Structure 1
Amino acid sequence: MTKPIPIFIGVDPRERAATNVLIDSLYQHSSTPLAITPLLTPQLEAQGLYWRPRDPKQSTAFSFTRFLVPHLMGYQGWAIFMDCDMLARGNIADLWALRDEQFAVQCVQHDHVPGETVKFLGEVQSAYPKKNWSSLMLLNCGRCTALTPEFVNTATGLELHRFHWLAGDHEIGAVPEGWNHLVAVQDAAQAEEAPLLHWTLGGPWFQAQRTMGGALAAEWFVARDQAFRLFE
């Protein structure tokens, strides 16, 4: 029997609409059962897993909680983490099939150097090597044992997001770029066949960014309307 694919979604309370549309899009396009867990900071705090104060450079509630996924998996098996500001257009089972035991983490290895200093809702835009790599990760949890709750709550943001908890970059594998297409950052033509869109600068669920990505924003609204369609 095929086990459901474990997917953890980083949730920010300001992006609940984005989270719900992402979840529906994952289910609608998947050929395999999914086990989706939204990472809600208050729940993790209540369980004694997350206690670090908010960092001034932290733009979302899940900036650091994403690194608790291996612990939540008991450091066994594989899991997918993704930011909530995404939209699935392809079969997530195709990404799952790319798991490679020689790696501890697999992700799209962007070369993204932000030109702006702020992003959605005036949040600070930070520039650092491996920017956006951690926004979509295939995690080989048994090889991520350094990510204890104590480490996640005390390490610097750069130590976490630059994967300093691994032995080296040789433990990071690449997946095709379409699995984390950065809307309004990468060439729009690249989005045509991309199975996963990512509104890293803020998406159409924010009033001020309702047209972010042009036709891609319109596509998000179609997905939203389909997710919440009322049937008579």
Structure 2
Amino acid sequence: MKSILIIEDDESIAELERDYLEVSGFQTEIASTGTEGLELALNKEFDLILLDVMLPGKDGFKVCTEIRAVKEIPILMVTAKKEDIYKIQGLGIGADDYIVKPFSPSELVARVNAHISRYERLTNIDKDNNIERSSITIGRIKILLKARRVYVVEEEVKFANKEFELLMFLALNPNIVFSKDKLLDRIWGEESLGDSSTVTVHINRIREKIELDSSNPEYIETVWGAGYRFNI
């Protein structure tokens, strides 16, 4: 049974999320503060984390940053904040998705299922094989596909789940222009809900990690009016 950690200080919302998830076959655990949620996230194994932004103790952004520093499991941020800046900030620190209250419980369950399924597909590695058999090397960048690691000038750089998936997809399809909508559909699938700003945020984050000058990118080029292209 898949296990979900709910970090939410509003008891009624936490219980609503728990009830719908448990009816859908998930096991859940609730933390009502950021500090408690972070401790559980770091010391127990979960398949996905539902993380509120406004929390006592530590806010959701701080909690997400500290979880993402050591774990790559999907993080779905939940908040009443509708402004784009909050979404950009959440995605920028490594959250996989962002859902605004009030939300449909069925939509929440659908997104949870989609993120867990996608994560499992992309991390289906033969764990008995310690040999990193598949990689891409392009200039200063080396991507270990099976180990999901990225090295820039031989130094490992940490990537959030969707950042890695987007970089991997572009690197595996070099010199091809992909529109934001195409990338959104390919990497986020049905959980994207058509928000192409998500792609822009992740492209900018990737550039900051792999480019010598993110304002004048060498690898991921913006093709104005068309999309993005990974140059070789």
TM-score, scaled relative to structure 2: 0.31
Specify which structure has the higher proportion of helix: 2
Specify which structure has the higher proportion of strand: 2
Q: Which has the higher contact order (CA 8 A, sep 6+)?
A: 1
TM-score, scaled relative to structure 1: 0.31
Q: Which has the larger radius of gyration?
A: 2
